[in-house]
Amino acid sequence: MKSTPAMELFLRRAQPTLIDVTTQLQELYEFARVVGEFSPLLQRWCLSSDTSKHDALLHDAFDANGPTTAALAVLHHKSKGVTDVRSISLWNGAESDAEVATLSSRVNTLGRPDTVEFAMRVAPEVTDWRVPLGWLQRAIAIWRPNACSFGPYWYSDHKVFEDRPGVAWMLYLPKVLTAQQVPEARALVPVADENNQPMGTIIVSITDEPFSENNPEHVKVANSIETRLVDQDLLPRYADL
């Protein structure tokens, strides 16, 4: 059985910065607009509930204009008096486990990076590497992360270094990389900022088919990229993100 495709993003914002609820939810909205183009199952997002699915469906996170007034009111109430770590978790409202998607953001964690996670089990499956490439490009533009990866969730059991991000299907690093530095990569996609200045590279391990953690050749390529990056001190430890 294939594991859930997932994106994981780490970032440290300019200090001192405490992200408010409105900004946090707006960032998720900007990303949700992009993934929503892939499937109708990714077009509706609800605030996750600690009590029941029914309660979660009461509060749509977004409408056509952005975060809803109702969602912001709920989140402001929950976070009243909170000045440090705050999480927002969204769910696509699907009843079937085969159609579930989640999107979450954690901010203001003292001494640790903010994180964003996106996971999905929706049809159709992602088969073209350029689809998640577009998602990562949008995520990078929104959050300017220190690292951002996309691939099967359980690839984490196969990566070489437990204390560092895995390459999986693709990995973004805020470094300009060349084919000479990472010859095992099937593609290196440069990323530029709004002024067209180089800011990083998306490393793609497999381009001719979907990446699978159950394919030994795919895992071998991703592992070799990880080793190559570490040999050149290019793959950061989680502690340094």
**How do residues 18-63 score in pLDDT, each as one tens digit?**
788 999 999 999 999 999 999 999 999 999 865 555 555 678 999 9
**How do residues 139-153 score in pLDDT, each as one tens digit?**
999 999 999 999 998
CA 4 to chain centre: 13
DSSP string, 79-121: TTT--S-EEEEEE---SSGGG-EEEEEEE--TTS-EEEEEEE-
Q: What is the pTM of this model?
A: 0.91
**How do residues 108-121 score in pLDDT, each as one tens digit?**
877 788 999 999 98
Distance CA 202, CA 147 (A): 10
Distance CA 13, CA 209 (A): 35
- Written as six digits, the tokens of 227 are 């080793």
**How do residues 159-175 score in pLDDT, each as one tens digit?**
999 999 999 999 999 99
- Written as six digits, the tokens of 229 are 């990056």
